[in-house]
Structure 1
Amino acid sequence: MPAITARPVPPAGLPAHRDPNVLRWAGAYTSSAIGDNVYYLALSWAAVQVGTPAQAGVVTAVSAVPRALLMLGGGVVADRYGPRRVVLGGSAVRCALVITAAGLLLTAGPGLWALGAVAVLFGIVDAVFLPAAGALPARITGPDQLARVQGIRGLATRLALVLGGPVGGLAITVGGTAGAFGLCAVLIGVSLPLLRAVRAAPPSPDDSRTREPVLAQLRDGLRHIGRDPVLCPLVVGAALVDLGFVGPMNLGLTLLAQERGWGSTGLGWVLAGFGVGAAGAALLLTLRGRVPRAGLVLALAELAGCLALGVLAQLPSLVVAVCVALGVGLATGLGGALGAALLQTHAGPAYVGRVTSVSTLVGFGVAPLTFPLVGAAAERWGTGPVFAGCAALCATGALIALCSGAVRRAELPRR
């Protein structure tokens, strides 16, 4: 079994949102996340220019396939070599990939096959990068600050969503898709010196130089999750929540706006409501830090968010839908951040990468592959039954956490 390494402890009395080490990480994460949003916008725009909408959809979704197949192995890599080292290497490779894409667009005007190849390669790198990025917070701060760090991460994600679209659109207008890919490379590149300046607890010598096969380490990580009374229900519950949530909140909202006649403006307002709610939850955790009865609050918040998701498709009024979307964002944002903090608290540093890869596999790898199923179901039965079914699946995941006594009693550490 891998040795357990000590977690880093921030300076005494210094909360995470005032810790320079955490703030350097937050700057790197934000810059990289904005770059990701610019990349996906540029990729979809380039694909639409050379193919049909259906073909463009395949190009933009194909990167989920390698993530689904390889992400569990990526968690092993993060634990074996340390998440900071993997995030640095992954960021460098991602930067090189988008530079290559920009060069292809400038010189050859690539077709769908070339764009699809870039998307697949980006997905392969993401399969290793994403578990390491999720595990890194546990290496840069103390256990009592993990909720604050997850709040900071949530704020950075919302900021990236707000800025990524307009910045990417402006880049396409000024420099075409090649210019947008170039900007993406710059944004990811900016994160590299910041990441190099981040201090992180290294893996133990036994952990980083082990000759144990990847599959054996993966099995060890899965056994670790299965034996832990908190990790197991949290991971299973999070998988079901993600599986039911991602489709409606992406493709489903677009179809709902069309069905209700809200148009793109109405869709934007609903998404804005969700984003404001999620940002509010992230800000609350960033400032407050510790939430009493974290496991119980997590389960109740996610259950409330899932039920509100089912209600969303039954509302004819755009104003009410925006308000409900705000509640969905607030509840699921709070539950998701607390869940990530509890997972990292109970995982132990030697297992954080593997636990992160398992807990995020569905959200990043499997759920995007359900978009065609969500679209086909909405076409046949309408958005109301689809949202209701997906909300029921989400609620099942929340109920698994709520019915677990260990999760209900789970607390975040005190300083």
Structure 2
Amino acid sequence: MIGDSVYYIALSWAAVQTGTPSQAGVVMAVSAVPRAVLMLGGGVIADRFGPRRVVIISDTVRCAAVLAVAGLLFLTGPGLWPLAVLALVFGTVDAVFLPAVGALPARVTSRGQLARVQGIRGLGIRFASVVGGPLGGLAVAIGGAAAAFTVAGLLIAVSVPLLISVRLRELPAGAGTGEGAGAVDGAEGEGVFGAGYAGAGEAVGADAVKPGDGDERVGERGGRSVRDRLVGSGSGAGAAGGGRTADGDGGRSDRERLAGRGGGLGAAGRGRVAGEGGRRLGRRGGRAGAVADGGERVAGGGAVGPGGAAWQDLVVGLRYIRRHRVLAPLMLAIALGDLGFVGPLNVGLTLLADERGWGASGMGSVLGGFGVGAGAASLLLAVRGRVPHAGHVIVYACLGGAVAIGALAFVPGVLAAVGVALLIGLLAGLSGALCGALLQTQADPAYLGRVTAVASLVSLGFAPLSMPLSAAAIGAWGTGPVFVVSAAVCALGGVVALCARNLRRAELPA
């Protein structure tokens, strides 16, 4: 994280020194385009090849690219093209790196510790923002952009052996089947808009997945065990088919179904799950996937489905999220919260400080208050590890944070603004960390790359679009109305969480 902070400072400084302000803006925006466009594909890669392997390779590529540009700047001097190429490569690799990093915690620690991991991650982000900025500025002041890129590359390089030393836990027996606390079982359920997930005529009951806390069981047919059903048929149990299992495939035998698909289960049509996210079966001794270094079981160890298998994995992952009783409304709540939050707390705060005459120091104090509040929320989770009634806390934190965002535009002075910003940071940090923890605990580990990719796409791809819109709206109508509208959008996220019964009642594992 510190290396990333230094990298962005070096890139922005070098771009400003080399070209015009508009050219510098283009260079800074170049990395955002491939990151947003390729993020979903990066989630598929993380699930197919395993998060550990993907994060090590992608981090190594990031390090090599930054150090290569640093060496080029030392030898030739700055130029826009090398900076643009670096930004393009960095953004492209980030599209793979971020989903893989998001999928790692569930494979490193137990479900009961994932909330604590989110808290520690939040503290790491705050620490990196505090240390990375001054360190990058110092490197630029001493040796220019080349020195700053070198420092960034070396910091990223330090993370590579640390990632190599990580050993992952084996995927649980039910991973990749769609089983989980919020998995669709074809029984009563509610979608984002209250619609049940099981379609008409889809099988329920004895052969449907029953939601549980990692100890789910699939109804037996003919006395076969869960492992026999997974290994023998290579089928998931209702994750992408509204509760139907692959055993109902026209009475064909397991061997016929495998052979009929070219040795691998590559399709997920007609309600049958075809080896999604790490459970694709080939014909290599009947093993489900291959075991990589570090004990990591990855997808694709057997035969891969024909043609567009990666595209099919993406479709299956998106379907899994859409039909999940907790993840579907949670994604919508995250999207609304980010859309309403990013504009006011970035460009909106700058314009508010200018309008009120607070100056740069006043704006810095308000941002500092927000940082303290967010850090306190992360510390709470890191120390406590589990917050009871997580779903209800998310609802109230979203609604309370929305009220605070709307109030920020009407406070009389800097001190009051700092207090309101501290409250926003506390509530937004708490709801954000709990949303991240629920994503980790509710999602099947075999889908976490794709789940993280969707969440990251919302936060890093769509939400920043609200910044130019907020700036234009403030120019037309002023800060007050825009902050109120943004607060209403944030509040909609809380309303979604409140109306989605399964999300509202969601709990973090003990």
Asked if residue 330 in structure 1 is aligned to residue 426 in structure 2, the reply is: yes
Counterpart position of 1:116 = 84
CA distance in structure 2 between the aligned counterparts of 1:390 and 1:54, rounded to whole angstroms? 28
Which one-letter code corresponds to 1:399 in the other structure? V
- Partner SS state of residue 47, structure 1: helix
Shift of 1:202: 5.1
- The answer to whether the Cα contact below 8 Å between 1:75 and 1:355 also exists between their aligned partners in 2 is yes
Asked if residue 175 in structure 1 is aligned to residue 266 in structure 2, the reply is: no
- The answer to whether the Cα contact below 8 Å between 1:61 and 1:369 also exists between their aligned partners in 2 is no
Q: 1:56 to 1:372 in 2, by over 3 A?
A: farther
- Partner SS state of residue 507, structure 2: coil
Give 1:329-408 correspondences, 5 Å limit.
329-408=425-504
Give 1:208-247 correspondences, 5 Å limit.
208-209=299-300, 211-212=304-305, 213-247=309-343
Asked if residue 269 in structure 1 is aligned to residue 365 in structure 2, the reply is: yes
Q: 1:366 to 1:288 in 2, by over 3 A?
A: same
Shift of 1:264: 1.7
- The answer to whether the Cα contact below 8 Å between 2:376 and 2:426 also exists between their aligned partners in 1 is yes
Q: Deviations over 1:8-49 (max 9, x none)?
A: xxxxxxxxxxxxxxxxxxxxxxxxx01111111111111111
- The answer to whether the Cα contact below 8 Å between 2:116 and 2:386 also exists between their aligned partners in 1 is yes
CA distance in structure 1 between the aligned counterparts of 2:63 and 2:466, rounded to whole angstroms? 28
Given the two structures, how large is their TM-score scaled by the length of structure 1?
0.88
CA distance in structure 1 between the aligned counterparts of 2:32 and 2:494, rounded to whole angstroms? 25
Counterpart position of 2:40 = 72
Q: Gaps (5+ residues) in structure 1? A: 1-32
Counterpart position of 1:249 = 345
- The answer to whether the Cα contact below 8 Å between 1:64 and 1:366 also exists between their aligned partners in 2 is no
Counterpart position of 1:45 = 13
Counterpart position of 2:60 = 92
More helix by share: 1
Q: Deviations over 1:122-150 (max 9, x none)?
A: 11111111111111111110001110000
CA distance in structure 1 between the aligned counterparts of 2:470 and 2:52, rounded to whole angstroms? 36
CA distance in structure 2 between the aligned counterparts of 1:83 and 1:324, rounded to whole angstroms? 39
Q: Deviations over 1:169-224 (max 9, x none)?
A: 11111111111111001111111111111121356543421624111001111111
Partner of residue 165 from structure 2, selected from 187, 191, 197: 197
Asked if residue 296 in structure 1 is aligned to residue 392 in structure 2, the reply is: yes
Which one-letter code corresponds to 1:101 in the other structure? V
Give 1:20-31 correspondences, 5 Å limit.
none
- Partner SS state of residue 199, structure 1: coil
- Partner SS state of residue 412, structure 1: coil
CA distance in structure 2 between the aligned counterparts of 1:222 and 1:315, rounded to whole angstroms? 42
Q: Deviations over 1:266-296 (max 9, x none)?
A: 1211111111111100110111111111111
Aligned residues: 382
Shift of 1:111: 3.1
Counterpart position of 1:25 = none
Asked if residue 160 in structure 1 is aligned to residue 251 in structure 2, the reply is: no
Shift of 1:395: 1.5
Segment drifting more, 105-114 vs 237-246: 105-114
CA distance in structure 2 between the aligned counterparts of 1:89 and 1:344, rounded to whole angstroms? 23
Counterpart position of 1:26 = none
- The answer to whether the Cα contact below 8 Å between 2:114 and 2:437 also exists between their aligned partners in 1 is yes
- The answer to whether the Cα contact below 8 Å between 2:335 and 2:463 also exists between their aligned partners in 1 is no
Counterpart position of 2:4 = 36
CA distance in structure 1 between the aligned counterparts of 2:320 and 2:459, rounded to whole angstroms? 21
- The answer to whether the Cα contact below 8 Å between 1:61 and 1:368 also exists between their aligned partners in 2 is no
Asked if residue 278 in structure 1 is aligned to residue 374 in structure 2, the reply is: yes
**Identical pairs, percent:** 61
CA distance in structure 2 between the aligned counterparts of 1:180 and 1:174, rounded to whole angstroms? 9
Partner of residue 258 from structure 1, selected from 324, 343, 354: 354
- The answer to whether the Cα contact below 8 Å between 1:150 and 1:337 also exists between their aligned partners in 2 is yes
Q: 1:116 to 1:310 in 2, by over 3 A?
A: farther
Counterpart position of 1:140 = 108
Q: Which has the larger radius of gyration?
A: 2
CA distance in structure 1 between the aligned counterparts of 2:342 and 2:159, rounded to whole angstroms? 27
Shift of 1:313: 2.0
Which one-letter code corresponds to 1:201 in the other structure? R
Which one-letter code corresponds to 1:380 in the other structure? A
Q: 1:177 to 1:202 in 2, by over 3 A?
A: farther
CA distance in structure 1 between the aligned counterparts of 2:456 and 2:70, rounded to whole angstroms? 30
Which one-letter code corresponds to 2:10 in the other structure? A
Shift of 1:64: 1.4
Q: Which has the higher contact order (CA 8 A, sep 6+)?
A: 1
CA distance in structure 2 between the aligned counterparts of 1:50 and 1:385, rounded to whole angstroms? 39
- The answer to whether the Cα contact below 8 Å between 1:274 and 1:326 also exists between their aligned partners in 2 is yes
- Partner SS state of residue 140, structure 2: helix
Segment drifting more, 375-384 vs 223-232: 375-384
Q: Gaps (5+ residues) in structure 2? A: 172-277, 279-287, 290-297
> Alpha carbon RMSD of aligned pairs, Å?
1.6
Which one-letter code corresponds to 1:195 in the other structure? L
- The answer to whether the Cα contact below 8 Å between 1:64 and 1:369 also exists between their aligned partners in 2 is no
Which one-letter code corresponds to 1:70 in the other structure? L
Shift of 1:363: 0.8
Shift of 1:344: 1.3
